[in-house]
Amino acid sequence: MPLPLESSGGRAVDPFAGLRDIRERRLKPVSERVFVEDPLRLLRAFRLSAQLGFSQDPSLLAGVRKHRRLILKPAGERVRAELMALLGSPESAVWLKTMDETGLLTAVLEELEPERRCAEVYYGAGGVLRHTLDAVARMDFLWSNLEKVFGELAAPLRAHLLEHHHDLSKHGALLKLAVLLHDVAKPDCARQVQGRLRFFGHDHRGAEAVSRILRRLRCSRDEEHIAAALTLHHLRPGNLAAAGAVTDKAVFRFFRDLGPLGVSQLLLCWADHASYLQEADLRKVLRWASEDPHAFRPPKSLPEDTAKTLRHLQVIAYLLQRYFLQPDTARPVRLLDGQEVMDLLGIPPGPPVGEVLRKLEEAQSEGRVRDREEALRFVRRLRLTKN
C-alpha cells in the first residue's frame, strides 16, 4: 500500500499492524489474495513458522485451507525448496501435522492421502499417515539428540554423514522426506492374510513411488536414488531383529548391499521403530537402547510391545557399533582383487570371479580369513559352482 513518505511524520507506516504481529511472533496474511498471487506462499507460511518459531493466525490457516489446491501451480523445484527447508527445521513434524490439518500436506504429496484410512486398527485414527508423521517426529528427536541416543558413536556417525553427503542439514531434510514417504505403498499392498493385515511388497512398490514423487519435485538423481533405496531396504533391520541372533554374515551382507548408505538406513529405521513409543516412554528406554541385543534381558515391568520396540532399537545400535567399531568384519577390506583370483584359479573374467570375491569377503567377515596368506589358501581350496 504506497503512501507518501512525508505523510508519516517520521513514524513507521504500518496499516496492517505488522509490528504487533512481529512482537507477538505471529504470521498473518494481509489478505487471501497473497495466496492467489503466489500459491507458493501456502507452503512458505509453514516453512517460515518452522524456521522462525512464529505461530499462525487463524486467518492464515483458513486461507491455506481454502486455497490449498493452488499449490499444484508452482514449479516442482520451487515446491521442493520450501518443503526441504521446512524439513530441515528441528520441529518439522509439528508443522507437517499442522499442514495436514489444513489439507495442504496431501495437496503437495497426494500419494499420502490413502494412508489416512489404512491400518487404523494398528495405528489408530489417521492410520499409516499418523504413523509416518510420528516417525518424522522421532527423526526430529534423533537428529537433535545423536549423542543422547548413540553416545560415543555420534561423532564418527556425523563424520561419516559429512564425508558421504557433505551437507548435514540437507541430508537430514532428505532423511525426513524419506521417513515421510517410506510407507507410501502400504495402502495398495494391504491384504488380510490369516486374519492379519499384511503389506507384502510395499518396500519395492514404495521405492518406485518415491522415485516418481522425487522426480515430480525436481530433486536430483542422487536424492532420488537415496530416498528410493532407503524405502526399498527399510524392513531389513526389523527382519534381523525378529530373526534372533544377528550373525556376522548378516551384518556383513547388510553393509555389503547398502554400502555407506547403510548408516542412513539405520537412522531411518530407528525413527520408524521409535514411533511406536510415546516420547516419554522412549526417553525411559533410551538408557538400554545401546545394550547388546543378544545379552540384554528386559525388566519384567517393561510391557511386551515396549520390549519388542527396544530390541529393534538395540539391533540398530548394534549394527552401527559393528560398522564403526569393528569395520574389519562389517566392511572388510578386500584382500585379493579379481585379477589375482583369475590367476590363481586359471579362469577367465566372468561371474565366477565375483562369486569367489563375495565368498572371500564373507569368510573375512566371519573371521575365517584374516590376512592375505589365508585369503590365498581360501581361494585355492574354494570349489567354484558351475553357474
Where in the chain are the domains?
Answer: 109-329, 338-381
Mean pLDDT value across residues 260-286: 97
Average pLDDT over the chain reads: 92
Give the separation between CA 259 and CA 250, rounded to whole angstroms: 14
> How many Cβ atoms are within 10 Å of 59's Cβ, its own excluded?
14
> What are residue 56's phi and psi, to 5 degrees?
-120, 130
pLDDT at 48 over 50: yes
Amino acid at 148: K
Tell me which amino acid residue 364 is.
Q
Residue among 61, 62, 65, 70 nearest 37 (CA): 70
CB atoms within 10 A of CB 117: 13
For the segment 151-176, the average pLDDT, to the nearest whole number, is: 96
pLDDT of res. 321 = 97
Grid cell of 285 as nine digits: 528406554
Query: Would the pLDDT of 387 be above 50?
Result: no
Residue-level pLDDT at 10 = 64
Judged against a pLDDT cut of 70, whether residue 17 lies above it is answered with no
pLDDT higher than 80, residue 11: no
Q: What is the pLDDT of residue 5?
A: 55
**Tens digit of each residue's pLDDT (9 = 90 or more) over 117-143:** 999 999 999 999 999 999 999 999 999
| 85 vs 25 pLDDT, higher one | 85
pLDDT digits (tens, 9 = 90+) for 57-95: 999 999 999 999 999 999 999 999 999 999 999 999 999
Over range 219-237, report the average pLDDT.
Answer: 98
Res 8: pLDDT? 54
**Residue 302: band (very low, low, confident or very high) from pLDDT cuts 50, 70, 90:** very high
Grid coordinates of 69: 489446491
Examine the pLDDT at 386 and tell me if it is beyond 70. Answer: no
Cell of 49: 513458522
In this prediction, residue 382 carries a pLDDT of 79
